[in-house]
Amino acid sequence: MSSSDQQLCRIAVIGGGPMGLAVAYELTRLGHRPVLIEADDRLGGMAACFEFAGIQLERYYHFHCLSDTAFFEMLGELKLADQLQWRTTRMGFYLDGRLYPWGTVGAVLGFRRLPWFTRVRYLLHAARCLTIRDWRSLDGITATQWLRSWLGEKGYQVLWHKLFAFKFFHYGDQISAAWIWSRIRRLALSRRRLKETLGFLNGGSQQLIDAFEAAIHQGGGDIQLSTPVQALRPLPSGGAVLSTPSGDQAFDCVISTVPLPLLAPVLKAGGVEESLVERYGAVPSVACACVVLKTRQPVTANFWTNVNDRRFSIPGVIEMSNLRPLPGHVSYVPFYIPADHPDYQRPNQDFIGDAWACLKALNPQLNDADLLDSHCSRYRFAQPVCGVHFQQSLPPLQPFLGVFTADTTVYYPEDRGISESIGFGRELARRATGRPTGST
Ligand SMILES: Cc1cc2nc3c(=O)[nH]c(=O)nc-3n(C[C@H](O)[C@H](O)[C@H](O)COP(=O)(O)OP(=O)(O)OC[C@H]3O[C@@H](n4cnc5c(N)ncnc54)[C@H](O)[C@@H]3O)c2cc1C
């Protein structure tokens, strides 16, 4: 594309989560005036916020790690770097009715529910995760196989089984070792003097979203909220026609950042060939019903507590106010469930009841008068299921001339993350306009 073509090029970005915002932001930096189209009534996607007990809070818990470089770079450009705060955080492990310290060498070595050699192997495995450089050697084996080979059956059952069972249900045995490696590594690297150190933004993710929105508007971009794209019809000359409730609009270039399975019906409605549509619909994903509770007292001193207890179908509890100072004590309790599982149809109040029962089990001093407020948010495509050789199962990034389709799966083996979505989104904007990083 010549530079005058680039100025005239009409570009649509579908989805206003961190990736879509980063794509639109980068496009404005490159001299374009993108139109960002978002189905929800607000920006942010999985990182969107809502008002809870007088606080602007993420619908889903969010923290940042010391390795989130694309995020730091973005904060710098948006003049938000001084809003990022770091805290030394604690971890816990709730096993069969008892709360243990976790997440430090001393805590693991002192965990007498497992033989000493399993504890040592757990630490060696964490250290090994830091030395593996090439994830491709792990791409063809499952996480559960890999963890069992390091920890033995008992170690695996105590430390990992419930986490997989309650994050992935029947997909638990399919997850690739490369995916779990990248998660362990990200957290293991987020340490200062061996102590877990996690970050948060003053004002939460809403600060970032507001700054993105202002920068996109300032760069001449347009943002359309409450505008679901219902059909994407590729044009033979490149780009596509997008249908929304407001009508049809033609674009020379379309960059979609919506979860790939959500794009399947949109492509189908646009007349795209069935075999390609099926590849989008086939990317498996788990939904999340995420309960947030405000309590009069803290539940524990931990930010993150892994839970392995037959009474509770959750992988853990996240006590956000032990990371980000908030008025009152705020905890998230996520229920990850495939959307077609009957449990996902349970009413919000049932999830809230289960979440509160879990907090009371973690801290028996809590009583019902301590529960001040509660809310349950749901996201249908909250956690992609990244199986072995995952990349080979994904549809193409550029299925048509001038049409790009990305979501959080494209940066596998990294798990979904704000930093990863921002980094990938910016690079995608450059690539889509013929200006990949490194070109002039
Ligand atoms: C429970 C939970 C906890 C998390 N914790 C962390 C964390 O601690 N740290 C971290 O870095 N990340 C965390 N994440 C992940 C992080 O939120 C995501 O990686 C990030 O938000 C992904 O951004 P995205 O823009 O790629 O996708 P999304 O956020 O999924 O955005 C996609 C957007 O597309 C929109 N859309 C969908 N269909 C249409 C349509 N037809 N037309 C128009 N728009 C449409 C959606 O409404 C949405 O706004 C967490 C996520 C969840 C669910």
Q: Looking at the domain 3-62+204-282+390-432, which fold is it? A: FAD/NAD(P)-binding domain (3.50.50)
> Which residue's CA lies nearest to atom 16 of ligand 1?
417
Q: What integer pLDDT is reported at residue 311 of this predicted model?
A: 95
Taking residues 8-22, what's their average pLDDT?
A: 94
Taking residues 307-330, what's their average pLDDT?
A: 96
pLDDT at 4 over 80: no
Q: What integer pLDDT is reported at residue 437 of this predicted model?
A: 73
Q: Alpha-carbon distance 158 to 150, whole Å?
A: 13
Between the CA of 421 and the centroid of ligand 1 the distance, in Å, is 9
To the nearest whole percent, how much of the chain has pLDDT over 90? 95
Q: Looking at the domain 284-384, which fold is it? A: Polyamine Oxidase; Chain A, domain 2 (3.90.660)
Between the CA of 15 and the centroid of ligand 1 the distance, in Å, is 9
Question: pLDDT tens across 93-116, in order?
Answer: 999 999 999 999 999 999 999 999
Question: pLDDT tens across 380-416, in order?
Answer: 999 999 999 999 999 999 999 999 999 999 999 999 9
Q: Where in the chain is the domain with CATH 3.90.660.20?
A: 284-384
Ligand 1: residue of 35, 36, 40, 46 to mutate (most ligand atoms within 8 A of CB) is: 46
Q: Where in the chain is the domain with CATH 3.50.50.60?
A: 3-62+204-282+390-432
Q: CB atoms < 10 A from the CB of 105, how many?
A: 11
pLDDT at 5 over 70: no
Between the CA of 157 and the centroid of ligand 1 the distance, in Å, is 31
